[in-house]
Amino acid sequence: MPGLSVPFTKGHGTENDFVVIEDPDGRYDLSPAQVAAICDRRAGIGADGVLRVVRGRQVPAWAERWQGDPDLWFMDYRNADGSVSEMCGNGVRVFVRYLLERGLATGPEVPVGTRDGLKPTTVLPDGRIRVQMGPSRVLGRDVEVQAELHDHPPMVWTGWRVDVGNPHAVSLLAASEADRLDQLDLGRAPLWRPADAFPAGVNLEFVRVTGDRQIAMRVFERGSGETRSCGTGTCAAAAATAAARNLAHGGADGPVTFVVDVPGGSVEVELDGDRTALTGPAVLVAHGEFVLPDGTV
């Protein structure tokens, strides 16, 4: 239906930015091309991704799950190129902020359905939102990541594979290469080996240790390119850093919390055995209407 006007909201979490589209009844089955057109920073609204706000009962894969809670909202997340991902940590916080500001949910506890399962969230007294992300599974340190640098030859790191519902490869920079984080040219996609390590693609994080429980991270996201933050990426980065240091967490060891600084701000990641909690800001910055590109339902 060309020419359809669709209300939207623009928001971000540590400058990982999203176009939010409220679609309770599942009217907008956005094609990849439409999502890419919306996210285009010159010809569209511009964003790292789209968050479609749809009732859980409208999502076939959630037919079983919404029954206990007919008000459950599902986050249909898409990357800027229109591809689908299982999970978006910054997106969930923006999604919750949207639900609250529109009166579609009441806090402080707001559960959100995602392709990676139900994510409990809590709005904290200081306004930040804490998301129970589930496990950050460190799968091994067995891939190579090659990235371009400005004014330097490319570098290769051995990467940690981490599953946060979506796939990540984390490169931990040695203290002697700390400067390289700023020198990375993430305008060009990093490469990984073996080529079949991530059949569905991967998000690539580069991490410098800046304190006992503090790290700095840059990211090249699957489907979106370099972004100024990636919530699941910060969880992966914290989990890989803890694994590299043999830092036990969970059970009698208690939780370990990292501050993760990204170009767009800072978040906190708490690792506690199989649980990962991501805490950070989420803001809405604009409301408007766009004309849905051709090819809509």
Ligand X SMILES: N[C@@H](CCC[C@H](N)C(=O)O)C(=O)O
**For residues 244 and 258, is the Cβ–Cβ distance under 8 A?**
no
CA angle 31, 18, 74 (to 5 degrees): 65
Tell me whether residue 91 or residue 190 sits nearer to ligand X (CB atom): 91
Stretch that binds ligand X, among 20-28, 98-106, 225-233, 257-265 (CB under 6 A): 225-233
DSSP 60: G
**Site for ligand X contains 276 (CB under 6 A):** no
Pairwise CA distance, residues 118 & 115, whole Å = 8
Q: Which of 222, 228, 264, 271 binds ligand X (CB under 6 A)?
A: 222
| Residue 88 annotated as catalytic | yes
89 known ligand binder: yes
16 known ligand binder: yes
Helix (H) or strand (E) holding 257: strand 256-262
| Residue 230 annotated as catalytic | yes
Q: How many residues bind ligand X (CB under 6 A)?
A: 17
232: Cα separation from own chain's centroid? 5
Pairwise CA distance, residues 194 & 222, whole Å = 17
Pairwise CA distance, residues 255 & 238, whole Å = 12
Q: Which of 9, 136, 171, 203 binds ligand X (CB under 6 A)?
A: 203
Q: Which of 85, 114, 121, 279 binds ligand X (CB under 6 A)?
A: 85
Structural tokens at position 22? 């409220």
**Site for ligand X contains 221 (CB under 6 A):** yes
Task: Give the Å distances, CA to CA, from 155 to 89, 96, 180, 233, 250.
Answer: 28, 39, 9, 20, 35
Smallest distance from ligand X to CB 223, Å: 5
Q: Which of 34, 121, 232, 279 binds ligand X (CB under 6 A)?
A: 232
96: Cα separation from own chain's centroid? 14
Q: Which of 9, 34, 114, 166 binds ligand X (CB under 6 A)?
A: 166
**Site for ligand X contains 136 (CB under 6 A):** no
Residues with active-site annotation: 88, 230
- Interaction site with ligand X (CB under 6 A): 16, 79, 85, 88-91, 166, 203, 221-224, 227, 230-232
